[in-house]
Structure 1
């Protein structure tokens, strides 16, 4: 049975063979309802997760489940169309394995998107929130537990998200008159149940502006192994206890689709201006 390092090498070798040695500069993880960026990628290769050794399958119906290699805004990218979640029954090692593989393929930056519930009363549905900090304490399993195969055993989290890319995102938003772009703290929970009113109160009290079921595990691994990380949420529903209504997946997806063009513009703009 292969250990983690051996799995990374095996999967990397497989992908290099399948893509004729394609070496991406930037990795992208697309969240729920946010797959529209794919149409802007000049695709060179697409590989289903089910065909990639070491990858599990995305079981959520609105995650397509493929790894896309190509060019976006003049940069060579590898893009996860659909991600893995702890609530699907996967370990954190499985959830974050693609990040380690993308690093092994050659990326030095990771851009992560997600759909999230807003808890800051100043936010509204379909706002974008640039993540400048996170709370990982509610994760059921920390992906950094176990053997440290790359990076600092005790990675610093004083500034987890890249200041340059955050600044670029705000500049691009201003240039395009996007007036509903927030900046805040994202808290990751296991899911799949949505939060109760009491849980929303608790998470807001500890300093979170938005809550979701992804992103932080991938970010923790990326930061430990030395990648620069940018993360952005689309606020798809509001978790304000006093006005909380029953969540509806159709409305959540509708909110994500409404904000997606602005998110895509920001991500493409960042890629154009970095490096």
Structure 2
């Protein structure tokens, strides 16, 4: 092949075989297994006290963090060594877009469950339409209102209101999107001080959000009687807000790593997709929270 022909083709780096995918798969399995046992412990269902749930869940999280640290380290080293080309950059962008698309479907499933419970099951249990006998046989005293604060077993709870901690957390996430956008523009303009400062502020806002959510959960369990075992309302509330909190945790870790990389001068105005990917993910998490705030807390 002539030199002129070779110049038409870009190199495409193919990494060596990696252990990180299988390590991540093991970690995710342990998280799912431990989480299921924890839910059984919390709800007291199926005669399982879930005593190993926390241990298994923590082991899974530890493995995931180890996988993230190792995989990100390898990717950063490959990028800093100049092994990537514009084709690789396009591959990263496509991969991130597909990943966020899968996350949209993930949350859509839980929002769908919430819609099904509120818009279909509640009226059916209340005897709407041709379900009079369903109402009479299954739950004659049922009143179709949301939040559903009484379970078939007679347990009562309270609905989580939108004002207070949820509203504060909404303001925090909206502010974090603004600070991250400023940081992104600073990166494109070559303003390293503003880039580092606003990226660090965004990471700090993520930590504050998580701290307030933990406070909200403690309040729900200890003072409101709102738990995972509090019927369909409790389960959908904690599944939606809990999984969102998990995503905020991952995003916050990502932002901390980006802050460290900004301080190390890893990014330039021309080469910074790793930063853009973090910004995409964080803005996605913020948009999901807005839907959560509206459909879980307000409506």
Which of the five TM-score ranges fits, normalised by the shorter chain? under 0.3
Bigger relative CO (Cα 8 Å, ≥ 6 apart):
1
Structure number with the higher helix fraction is 2
Task: Tell me the TM-score normalized by structure 1.
Answer: 0.21
Task: Tell me the TM-score normalized by structure 2.
Answer: 0.20
Structure number with the higher strand fraction is 1
Bigger Rg, structure 1 or 2: 2
